[in-house]
């Protein structure tokens, strides 16, 4: 069995840049637990990872941009949904490191100059809204732009799957090692870790908990219907295992992930997620985001109400950030005021 220390030593061997404040806090949420009459709840505050309002992508970009810099890149090309947290954090990381940054964002129902899109523009990077849906078609736009930038003498690096997802899994394997150390300091041994993910975040949690043989089981809540999600996460976890030179291999049976809390579609709020968001703000003074973490919290609350989690259980909720998107959802969030 590997220890958290030896796992962290392996992570240290992977090319990386210094972007955030780690370890992120592991915070007790006693008033939330009490209000729900449920398990002991702790929050792992990736929203406090330090760079540009934080979020899970700061830890991930530590390795993606580390990869880019190790390859001699001077320019990052990225793109996703128009309120992408990943792109906002990439824009800020490029500013901090003195890299050029080009974002190509998919036009959608939240292509408004608020939230993340506002921050992208304030960060002074090259932003363009394009008429290609998020996914393989947007990746084509990103790779075509990279080719054009090469002819201008730049050295671009495109952030895209599967490389970016595997490096995210490296990042969240590291996060698990960090949590294992924090658990030891606090004298706890959690039963579950809940998070919103359909990619590298959960892949890393699964690889990390399996490698360290922790009691804690990851439970993922998807923010989007993603065809082939198990294969995507398994591949990312096993690619990360190879990068980290671990013997552990992840199978589909290791991955628990539900689509039940997405609602109408990605980026559309559910009544339960709005309620969850307000409850956590009211009881703990912590803001969730409307697209990802509030849906994950709606699932945790539902599981407590269904009796799937009891008073004797301990749950870690991984807060993956995303809070700037709140400001793009003013209408939906204030409909009852």
Ligand X SMILES: Cc1ncc(COP(=O)(O)O)c(C=O)c1O
Binding piece for ligand X, criterion CB under 6 A, among 19-27, 106-114, 209-217, 287-295? 287-295
Q: Which is nearer to ligand X, 33 or 197 (CB)?
A: 197
Q: Least distance (Å) from ligand X to the CB of residue 119?
A: 13
Among 197, 238, 257, 314, interactor with ligand X by CB under 6 A: 197
Q: Which is nearer to ligand X, 183 or 293 (CB)?
A: 293
Among 83, 173, 183, 201, interactor with ligand X by CB under 6 A: 201
Which of the 8 DSSP states describes residue 76? E
A 10 A CB-CB count for 184 gives 11
Binding piece for ligand X, criterion CB under 6 A, among 20-28, 143-151, 269-277, 315-323? 315-323
Q: Least distance (Å) from ligand X to the CB of residue 110?
A: 13
Residue 191 near residue 217 (C-beta atoms within 8 A)? yes
The continuous run of DSSP H or E covering 118 comes out as: helix 115-122
Q: Which is nearer to ligand X, 149 or 329 (CB)?
A: 329
Q: Residue 9 — φ and ψ, nearest 5°?
A: -60, -35
Count of residues interacting with ligand X (CB under 6 A): 18
| Concatenated DSSP letters of 165-211 | HHHHHHHHHHHHHHHHHHHHHHT---SEEEEE-SSHHHHHHHHHHHH
Which of the 8 DSSP states describes residue 1? -
Q: Which is nearer to ligand X, 149 or 257 (CB)?
A: 257
Give the chain's largest Cα–Cα span.
61
Residues contacting 329, CB < 8 A, separation 6+: 110, 115, 269, 290
- Under the binding rule (CB under 6 A), the answer on residue 54 touching ligand X is no
Residue 205 near residue 214 (C-beta atoms within 8 A)? no
- As a whole number of angstroms, the distance between CA 25 and CA 117 comes to 27
Q: Which is nearer to ligand X, 55 or 115 (CB)?
A: 55
Catalytic residue, from 33, 49, 84, 197: name it. Answer: 84
Among 177, 198, 286, 304, interactor with ligand X by CB under 6 A: 198
Among 102, 289, 298, 317, interactor with ligand X by CB under 6 A: 289
Q: For residue 79, give the nearest of 61, 39, 106 by alpha carbon.
A: 106
Q: Which is nearer to ligand X, 149 or 206 (CB)?
A: 206
Q: Residue 231 — φ and ψ, nearest 5°?
A: -65, -40
Q: Angle 293-305/271-284 helices, nearest 10 degrees?
A: 90
- Under the binding rule (CB under 6 A), the answer on residue 62 touching ligand X is no
Token pair 């730049």 is found at 154
Binding piece for ligand X, criterion CB under 6 A, among 21-29, 117-125, 258-266, 318-326? 318-326
Residue 292 near residue 196 (C-beta atoms within 8 A)? yes
Binding piece for ligand X, criterion CB under 6 A, among 12-20, 22-30, 196-204, 265-273? 196-204
- In 226-323, beta strands by DSSP E: 257-258, 314-319
Per-residue binding letters, 130-169, with ligand X (x by CB under 6 A):
--------------------------------------x-
Q: Which is nearer to ligand X, 35 or 268 (CB)?
A: 268
- Under the binding rule (CB under 6 A), the answer on residue 321 touching ligand X is yes
Instruction: Measure the CA angle with vertex 9, ends 168 and 239; round to 5°.
Output: 35
User: Is 197 in the active site?
Assistant: no
Site for ligand X in 17-46 (CB under 6 A): none
Among 79, 200, 267, 324, interactor with ligand X by CB under 6 A: 200
Which residues belong to the active site? 84
Binding site for ligand X (CB under 6 A): 55-56, 85-86, 168, 196-202, 289, 292-293, 320-322
């Amino acid at each position: 069995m590997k220890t958290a220390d030896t796992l962290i030593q392996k992570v240290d061997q992977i090319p990386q840049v210094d972007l955030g404040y780690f370890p992120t806090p592991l915070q007790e949420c006693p008033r939330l637990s009490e209000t729900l009459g449920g398990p002991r709840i702790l929050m792992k505050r990736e929203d406090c990872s330090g760079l540009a309002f934080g979020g899970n992508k700061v830890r991930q970009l530590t390795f993606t941009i580390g990869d880019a810099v190790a390859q001699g890149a001077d320019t990052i090309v990225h793109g996703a949904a128009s309120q992408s947290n990943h792109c906002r954090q990439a824009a800020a990381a490029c500013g901090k490191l003195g890299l050029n940054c080009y974002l190509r964002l998919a036009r959608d129902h939240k292509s408004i100059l608020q939230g993340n899109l506002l921050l992208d523009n304030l960060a002074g990077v090259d932003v363009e809204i394009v008429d290609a849906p998020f996914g393989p078609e947007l990746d084509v736009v990103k790779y075509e732009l990279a080719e054009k930038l090469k002819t201008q003498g730049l050295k671009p690096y495109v952030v895209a799957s599967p490389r970016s997802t595997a490096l995210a899994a490296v990042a969240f394997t590291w996060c698990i090692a960090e949590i294992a150390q924090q658990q030891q300091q606090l004298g706890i041994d959690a039963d579950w870790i809940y998070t919103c993910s359909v990619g590298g975040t959960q892949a890393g949690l699964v690889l990390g908990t399996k490698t360290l043989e922790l009691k804690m089981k990851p439970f993922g809540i998807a923010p989007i219907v993603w065809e082939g999600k198990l294969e995507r996460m398994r591949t990312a976890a096993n690619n990360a295992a190879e990068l980290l030179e671990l013997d552990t291999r992840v199978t589909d049976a290791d991955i628990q992930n539900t689509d039940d809390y997405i609602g109408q579609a990605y980026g559309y709020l559910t009544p339960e997620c709005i309620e969850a968001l307000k409850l956590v703000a009211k009881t703990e003074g912590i803001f969730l985001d409307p697209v990802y973490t509030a849906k994950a919290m709606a699932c945790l609350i539902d599981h407590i109400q269904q009796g799937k989690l009891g008073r004797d259980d301990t749950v870690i909720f991984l807060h993956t950030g995303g809070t700037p998107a709140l400001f793009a959802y003013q209408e939906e969030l204030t409909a009852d005021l």
